[in-house]
C-alpha cells in the first residue's frame, strides 16, 4: 500500500519560551537489548558498537547510539536510514534478547540555557555537568511518567518516553518551561 502513513504521537507540536525550546524528535529505530556479561562483547561486535558498561553512560558510533540502562540492558537507537534492524537481525543466533520498540517510545528534544531547570521541575536527578555530563543517560522520571534521559550536549537533552505518556510529558515540560526563569 502506498499511502499508509506513520503518525508520530507528538507530530506538529512546538514550544519555545525564554531560554527553552521543545521539539519532537524525528522517528528512529529502537531496540531493547538484553544480554548477560559473558555476551556483551560478542553482541557489541555483531551490531558494530562496543556496548557501554559504565552506569549512566552511552556511546554513539556511526549514528548508532547505545544507552546503558542497567547491568544487562541497553537501548539501541538509530535513524531509519542507518539500517539498524538489519544489524539487529544478525543477533538471532546470539544469546541475548533484541526486541523492536521503535514505536513504543517517542522522544522530545529539550534545548536551551534553561533546559536543566525545565527538566529538574520534574526529574529529581542531579543534572549538573559534573554529575550528568554530555553523553550521560538514565532511566528516571518526569513528574508521574517514566522517561529515559540522554544529554546530547550541555544544553540539549533527549527525553524518551512511552508513546501514550508523551502527551503528559510534553505538557509537563511546557508547564515547566513557562516557569523556568528564576
Partner 1 sequence: MSISSASAGANRIKNRGRLNRARTISFTWDGKSLNAYDGDTLASALLANGIHLTGRSFKYHRPRGILSAGPEEPNAIVDIARDTARRQPNVRATVQEVFDGMQANSQNRFPALIFDVGAVNDFFGPFIPAGFYYKTFMWPASFWKHVYEPFIRRAAGLGTAPTEADPDTYANRYAHCDVLVAGGGPAGIAAALAAARKGKSVILCDENADFGGHLRADIHAQIDGQPAMDWVASAVAELRSLDNATVLNRTTAFGYYTANMVALAERVTDHIADPDPELPRERLWQVRAGTVLIATGAIERHLVFHGNDRPAVMLASAAQMFANHFGVSIGKRVGVYTACDSAWQAAFDLHEAGSPIALIVDTRSEVPSQLLAKANDLGIAVKPGHKVTATSGRLRISSMTVEAENGHGKEKTPIDALIVSGGWTPSVHLFSQSRGRLKFDADNGRFLPDEVAENCICIGGCNGAMTLADALDDAANATGSKPANCEETGSMVGYQIGTSNGKTDSAFDKSFIDFQNDVTAKDIRLAVREGMLSIEHVKRYTTTGMATDQGKMSNMHGLAIAATELGREIPDIGLTTFRAPYTPVTFGTIINHAKGKLFDVTRTTPIHSWAQEHGAVFEDVGNWKRTWYFPKPGEDMQAAVNRECAATRNAAGIFDASTLGKIEVVGPDAVKFMELMYTNPWQKLAVGRCRYGIMLREDGFIYDDGVVGRLAEDRFHVTTTTGGAPRVLNHMEDYLQTEFPDWKVWLTSTSEQWAVIAVQGPKAREIIEPFVEDIDLDDMPHMSIREGRFCGVRTRLMRVSFTGELGFEINVPANYGRSVWEKIWERGEPLGLTPYGTEAMHVLRAEKGFIIVGQDTDGTVTPDDANLSWAIGKKKTDFVGIRGLKRIDLVAEGRRQLVGLKTLDPREVLEEGAQIVEDPHQPIPMKMIGFVTSSYWSENCGRSIALALIENGRAQMGEKLHVPMANGAIAVEVCETVFIDPDGSKLNG
3-state secondary structure of 93: helix
For the CB of residue 67, give the shortest distance to partner 1 in the complex, in Å. 15
Minimum CB separation of residue 147 from partner 1 in Å reads: 12
C-beta of 63 vs 163, nearer to partner 1: 163
* 8-state DSSP, 1: -
Give the phi and the psi of residue 94 in degrees, each rounded to 5.
Answer: -95, 150
The position carrying cell 507528538 is 10
SS3 125: coil
Nearest residue (CB) to partner 1, 65 versus 114 = 114
User: Do β-strands 20-24 and 15-17 pair in parallel, antiparallel, or remain unpaired?
Assistant: antiparallel
Which of residues 5 and 62 has its CB atom nearest to partner 1 in the complex? 5
**How near is the Cβ of 94 to partner 1 at its closest, in Å?**
11
Q: How far is the CB of 182 from partner 1 (least distance, A)?
A: 8
C-beta atoms surrounding 118 within 10 Å = 29
3-state secondary structure of 131: coil
CA–CA separation, 78 and 56 (whole Å): 19
- State which residue, 29 or 111, has the beta carbon closest to partner 1: 29
Binding residues for partner 1 (CB under 8 A): 1-9, 17, 27, 32, 34, 36, 72, 95-105, 117, 120-126, 128, 131, 143-145, 162-165, 167-168, 171-172, 175-176, 178-179, 181-182
- Nearer to partner 1 (CB atom), residue 157 or residue 165: 165
Amino acid at each position: 500500500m502506498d499511502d499508509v502513513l506513520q503518525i508520530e504521537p507528538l507530530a506538529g507540536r512546538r514550544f519555545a519560551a525564554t531560554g527553552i525550546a521543545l521539539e519532537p524528535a524525528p522517528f528512529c529505530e529502537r531496540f531493547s537489548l538484553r544480554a548477560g556479561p559473558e555476551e556483551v562483547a560478542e553482541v557489541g561486535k555483531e551490531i558494530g558498537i562496543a556496548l557501554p558498561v559504565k552506569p549512566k553512560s552511552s556511546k554513539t558510533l556511526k549514528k548508532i547510539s547505545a544507552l546503558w540502562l542497567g547491568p544487562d540492558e541497553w537501548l539501541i537507537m538509530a535513524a531509519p536510514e542507518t539500517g539498524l534492524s538489519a544489524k539487529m537481525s544478525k543477533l538471532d543466533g546470539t544469546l541475548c534478547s533484541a526486541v523492536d520498540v521503535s514505536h513504543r517510545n517517542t522522544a522530545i528534544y529539550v534545548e536551551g540555557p534553561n533546559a536543566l531547570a525545565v527538566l529538574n521541575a520534574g526529574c529529581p536527578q542531579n543534572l549538573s555537568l559534573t554529575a550528568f555530563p554530555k553523553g550521560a543517560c538514565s532511566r528516571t522520571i518526569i513528574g508521574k511518567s517514566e522517561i529515559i534521559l540522554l544529554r546530547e550536549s550541555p544544553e540539549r537533552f533527549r527525553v524518551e518516553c512511552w508513546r501514550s505518556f508523551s502527551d503528559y510529558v510534553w505538557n509537563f515540560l511546557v508547564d515547566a518551561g513557562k516557569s523556568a526563569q528564576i
